[in-house]
Amino acid sequence: MSNRTFTMIKPDATSKGYTGAILDQIIKAGYSVKAMKWIKLSEEQAGLFYDIHRERPFFGELVQFMSSGPIVAAILEKDNAVADFRTLIGATNPAQAAEGTIRKNFAASIGENAVHGSDSDENAAIEGDFFFSKLERF
């Protein structure tokens, strides 16, 4: 069990002005921020980040959406970080997300679902390394 996870606040949420409210919910859930940046991905960069989904039918839509506006990328720390964060954000499809979860509160659809959360300790490390150098994390 690792104590770190990786998240992105996605372009739908940043463009609707939800960034502060989402960060507030994350901090109130006990996470501390170990790295953070406000950044706009190119289509190529978004494709590399989501390379594991390259063969999925929604890949093109996903890449276009994730490069359509700024995101907030962050490394977060807390005990049991990965699993607890998945609970905090709720199901990938906001229609199936539990009450009070970030996706229930802020997401519109399965494609535009407000936040990303790593699905394993291994991917949390890979995804954090994608965005942050050693100098940018604490």
Q: Which of 128, 130, 126, 124 is closest to 138 using CA atoms?
A: 128
Residues at the contact surface with ligand CMP, assessed by CB under 6 A: 53, 58, 61-62, 92, 110-111, 113, 116
Give me the least distance between CB of 86 and ligand CMP, in Å please: 9
**Which of 34, 116, 117, 128 does the annotation list as catalytic?**
116
**Closer CB to ligand CMP, 48 or 135, in the complex:** 48
**Closer CB to ligand CMP, 8 or 134, in the complex:** 8
Give me the least distance between CB of 19 and ligand CMP, in Å please: 16
Active site includes 53? Answer: no
Q: How many CA atoms lie within 13 A of 122 on its CB side?
A: 0
Give me the least distance between CB of 135 and ligand CMP, in Å please: 26
Could you write out the DSSP letters of every residue in 70-134?
-EEEEEEE-TTHHHHHHHHH--SSGGGPPTTSHHHHH--SSSS-SEEE-SSHHHHHHHHHHH--G
**Closer CB to ligand CMP, 53 or 54, in the complex:** 53
Active-site amino acid positions: 116
